[in-house]
Structure 1
């Protein structure tokens, strides 16, 4: 493990730090269940006897942590009925293709759309 992401909770007048950390940790758990191979660990730098603190560090190799940062959408497939997470990575392309091809989600690994 040579990298880590550090998330610090900001004060919220409507939720305690414990509630926010619980929600954050639950979301991380769902992401790790979906795709982790057991190569990501966590620590709580501000841990006390009563509270996990307001900071969460997520440790792992750079490639594993980058995966956690990819935005995703939870979808239900209309063709198969399966529920899955679609990860999105947007990049800049050099040139427009003559015959763009997009999936039923409007996405493509080879075609591009104009950037306004």
Structure 2
């Protein structure tokens, strides 16, 4: 994790920043999946613990080879008018590190009902009685709204910032560039 690329969303009167960040993360996920990479992490510089959205700045972290391979895909096709992309830069010395991880929240009562019907063979009416519409959990973490590649369902990708650490921790990253164990430089 000695290199990084900054992607900053440009202001756009037609599209809100959250929509553009959602699209950017969707494109990144497809690219990481196509490359079968687990050595590229992401961060959101300027994101605070109490933010509700991920902001307008995405940073990709990795080694020179991993980031060069990603850049060679032209994965930003269709987003070039909406984002400023830096060259691959060297991580400054003396920075802190942190995990940026996904938090899965079962916030959909409808999904819980479908699961209950499938597992226990009960009727939809009975499932609705057991799990009312107001049964969903609330999460105050920042998130992006994405669409699943497999089933096409819309879901929220909640992101948690881990504590600041003096030393990096090695590990692998998900297809979204997130990890509960591997750290990225935080600056």
Q: TM-score, normalised by structure 2?
A: 0.37
Distance 2:36 2:5 in 1: 16
Partner of 1:56: 58
Distance 2:9 2:22 in 1: 11
Q: How many residues align?
A: 73
Partner of 1:67: 69
Whether contact under 8 Å (2:35, 2:70) holds in the other structure is no
Q: Does 1:17 align with 2:20?
A: no
- SS of equivalent residue, structure 1 residue 46: coil
How far has the Cα of 1:19 moved from its partner? 0.4
More relative contact order, 1 or 2 (CA 8 Å, 6+ apart):
2
- SS of equivalent residue, structure 2 residue 38: coil
Distance 1:47 1:36 in 2: 27
Distance 2:17 2:46 in 1: 12
Partner of 1:26: 26
What is the RMSD computed on CA atoms of the aligned residues?
A: 1.5
User: Do the aligned partners of residues 32 and 11 (structure 1) sit closer, same or farther apart at CA in structure 2, a change above 3 Å counting?
Assistant: same
Q: Once superposed, which parts of structure 1, at least 4 consecutive aligned residues long, lie more than 3 Å away?
A: none
User: Do the aligned partners of residues 7 and 67 (structure 1) sit closer, same or farther apart at CA in structure 2, a change above 3 Å counting?
Assistant: same
Partner of 1:80: none
Distance 2:74 2:68 in 1: 13
How far has the Cα of 1:71 moved from its partner? 4.0
Q: TM-score, normalised by structure 1?
A: 0.59
How do 1:77-88 and structure 2 match up within 5 A?
none
Unaligned runs of 5+ in 1: 74-116
Distance 2:73 2:32 in 1: 14
Partner of 1:36: 36
Partner of 2:158: none
